[in-house]
Amino acid sequence: LNTMQRKDFIKQALAVSLGMPLAGADAAASSHLPADPDSLAAKVPPYLRSGDTIAITSPAGYITAEEIRPAVEQMESWGLRIRIGDTIGRRDGTFGGTDAERVADLQQLINDQSVKAIMCARGGYGMVRIIDQVDFGHFRRQPKWLIGFSDVTVLHAHLSRHARVASIHSKMC
């Protein structure tokens, strides 16, 4: 980012964090909001029940199956089924596989109707590299919970802005 972009980013981030309007923000922008406030509400995926399947993927940082074992055991003790994604144990530098592998794994899990939630195993850096390659068309029609934090915040922001679907900013495996 150049100096001007950094200053604008910092100013906007500060204003958002303080809940204040941005200096110089176009007052007419509010006229673009829908008349019905309910249309701004996010869709809420179905709540999880015993027997539902949660998939674990690594769209950002590398992690092994052994490292996620305690989380798998905990969720299984709650009556949930666990599906381990293809990126668990894959490695490309610090990433959980190549960009193409991480996109393919996340896309497959998003499209799989038997998966009711997707938990990201680890944050780090990497989600920002693949977010624009993921097709959320099926997800918009049949939303499911997407869970994670850190680098996965990119995914939450994308879902909020483009799909208007609730997600869970939470601990990971």
pLDDT > 90? residue 22: no
Q: Are 115 and 144 in contact (CB under 8 A)?
A: yes
Q: Is residue 120 within 8 Å of residue 58, measured between CB atoms?
A: yes
pLDDT at 13 over 90: no
- What whole-number distance in Å separates Cα of residue 173 and Cα of residue 22? 37
Q: What is the pLDDT of residues 72-95, one digit of tens each?
A: 999 999 999 999 999 999 999 999
Q: What pLDDT does 3 receive?
A: 55
Identify the CA nearest to 54 among candidates 151, 131, 145: 145
Identify any residues that bridge with 81 across adjacent strands, giving them in sequence order. Answer: 53
